[in-house]
Amino acid sequence: MSAPRALPLRISFLRGETNGSYVQRLAWANGLQTAELLNRLGSGPATPIRPDEEELYLNAAALERLSALTGRPTVLLQQALRCLREEFLLTAPASMAAWTWLSPAPELPCVLRGCHRCGAAKGAFSPFFVWSDMPWQTCRRHGCWLDATPLPVTARATLRACMPLVLRAEQQRIRFERRMGPAGRILFADALSACAYWWNNPRLSLPVWIERQRPFPGLDYSAPFPALVLIYPEVVRLAQMFAQWERQHQAGLLNPDAWMRQMRLLFHSWGSPFEIDEVRLPVEMWLHRHRGHTVSKTRAPRWHPPSQLAKALSTCVPRGVPKAVGRAQATWGKWSCLPFRYARGMGVLPQERRTDILHLRPLYEPTEGTYWAMLPQPGPGCEALDPRRLC
């Protein structure tokens, strides 16, 4: 194919944008369908165009034709669009497709919808998609949360009040992962999985989360998003506690009892009774699976859940997870040693398991300090409303 003539209108590059998103915006800006513009790049598969889920990959010849269409040198295109770089170009024989759409590999970043206000500032008023190393992004400039789960505009606007807290937690996570290196992402995934256990069961949901939910009674929190917007600070703090355990045992300085006392104080600050086995279950499981890393001169806590709790573990696998949610959870699920995932929620729990939150009474003992006693659950018909479902 000869080099095509340049299109009349150029468009700005957007930070982190995918090839497929850029080509789609280029087509729309010039009054073309995306398929029409792709035909000018060469032959390709007759598959649906999904820039929100897949990436567009080109061979070297198609890249040259895209350069001619945009009026920009290939070097500039490769600097702005990561998947146009040499290592991502298709290397099939010339008789094969010049371009194709492929889903990102599990080890690659995720494709997310970009911040519409950032796009509008550069003249992009249509939806566009960007790469993210996590299944979500926060736009610090405009204070918004970006993920792969479609949410009504009203829901996103409602949660905007939580964004200052989330943005601070996101900055802490980034600093934490930079300090810890590759282990930081793994420990964060462990904390995220542990929090799914407490979140999915309204009896165990941290009171600090329930208080944070009260201004937004109409939202459905049974999926990871917008749940994560509300619980993010505690996830990051728990990851830091897991990191403290790892650093101390690698240095031979671990005191398990002192670490557990710190955890108890932390959970008390969140309003949750860490003394109760049912609450402590995911942390004990994490310790049990990490005990092989503990140096020999310290003793890692071992905990074997009662049969009732062990049986409950088998019900922590989500059912009927939306495709976008499942893909997002797979991203961090492969890093964590814990089995807990979001999206089970109250919507799929059988009626007999929709019990109330924990009813607790703080008690004081001179030698033990403050601890918690669990009160009997209320009788049928007297349960408190689940704050996740006040619709």
**Residues 58-116 pLDDT 10s:** 999 999 999 999 999 999 999 999 999 999 999 876 557 899 999 876 666 788 889 88
Number of C-beta neighbours around residue 127 at 10 A: 14
Determine the length of the chain: 391
Residue 245 CA to residue 175 CA, distance in Å, equals 18
Percent share of the chain, pLDDT over 90? 32
- Average pLDDT of 154-169? 78
Contacts of 389 (CB under 8 A, 6+ apart): 220, 346, 347
pTM: 0.74
Number of C-beta neighbours around residue 205 at 10 A: 22
- Indicate whether 353 pLDDT > 70: no
What's the gap between Cα 319 and its chain centre? 18
- Indicate whether 168 pLDDT > 70: yes
Residue 216 CA to residue 352 CA, distance in Å, equals 26
- Indicate whether 49 pLDDT > 90: no
- Average pLDDT of 6-24? 93
- Average pLDDT of 339-368? 52
Q: pLDDT value at position 78?
A: 95
Residue 112 CA to residue 121 CA, distance in Å, equals 19
Work out the angle at residue 326's Cα, subtended by the Cα atoms of residues 183 and 287, and round it to the nearest 5 degrees: 35
CA distance to 15, 30, 98, 208, per residue, from 90 (Å) = 23, 26, 8, 50
Q: pLDDT value at position 223?
A: 57
- Indicate whether 147 pLDDT > 80: no
Residue 336 CA to residue 286 CA, distance in Å, equals 10
Q: Which residue has the higher pLDDT, 176 or 296?
A: 176
Q: Are 260 and 254 in contact (CB under 8 A)?
A: no
Of all residues in the chain, what percent are helix, strand and coil, respectively (each to 5)?
45, 10, 45
Residue 329 CA to residue 325 CA, distance in Å, equals 6
ω before 226 within 30° of 0 (cis)? yes
Percent share of the chain, pLDDT over 70? 68
- Average pLDDT of 368-389? 50
Residue 134 pLDDT grade (very low, low, confident, very high; cuts 50, 70, 90)? confident
Q: Nearest-CA neighbor of 228 among 340, 135, 362?
A: 135
- Average pLDDT of 293-319? 48
Specify the pairing of strand 129-132 against strand 136-139: unpaired
What's the gap between Cα 129 and its chain centre? 17
Q: pLDDT value at position 289?
A: 79
Q: Which residue has the higher pLDDT, 339 or 77?
A: 77
- Indicate whether 391 pLDDT > 50: no
Residue 227 CA to residue 347 CA, distance in Å, equals 14
Contacts of 298 (CB under 8 A, 6+ apart): 249, 252, 254, 255, 256
Express each pLDDT in 268-287 by its tens digit: 889 888 888 888 889 988 88
Q: pLDDT value at position 299?
A: 41
Q: pLDDT value at position 374?
A: 52
Q: Nearest-CA neighbor of 317 among 303, 331, 330?
A: 330
Q: pLDDT value at position 35?
A: 93
Q: Nearest-CA neighbor of 147 among 110, 115, 112?
A: 112
Residue 211 CA to residue 272 CA, distance in Å, equals 13
Q: Which residue has the higher pLDDT, 254 or 333?
A: 254
Number of C-beta neighbours around residue 211 at 10 A: 12
CA distance to 200, 341, 370, per residue, from 344 (Å) = 6, 8, 33
Q: Is 149 left (phi over 0), alpha (psi -120 to 50) or beta?
A: beta
- Indicate whether 385 pLDDT > 70: no
Residue 42 CA to residue 90 CA, distance in Å, equals 13
Taking the alpha carbons at both ends of the chain, their separation in whole angstroms is 58
Q: Which residue has the higher pLDDT, 350 or 121?
A: 121
Q: Which range has the worst mean pLDDT, 90-104, 231-245, 297-311?
A: 297-311
- Indicate whether 28 pLDDT > 90: yes
Express each pLDDT in 358-377 by its tens digit: 545 555 556 655 555 555 55
- Average pLDDT of 16-43? 94
Query: Which tokens in the block code for residue 292?
Result: 């092989």
Q: Which range has the worst mean pLDDT, 22-26, 91-95, 99-103, 210-214?
A: 91-95
Residue-averaged pLDDT of the chain: 77
Residue 23 pLDDT grade (very low, low, confident, very high; cuts 50, 70, 90)? very high
Residue 33 CA to residue 284 CA, distance in Å, equals 55
Residue 354 pLDDT grade (very low, low, confident, very high; cuts 50, 70, 90)? very low
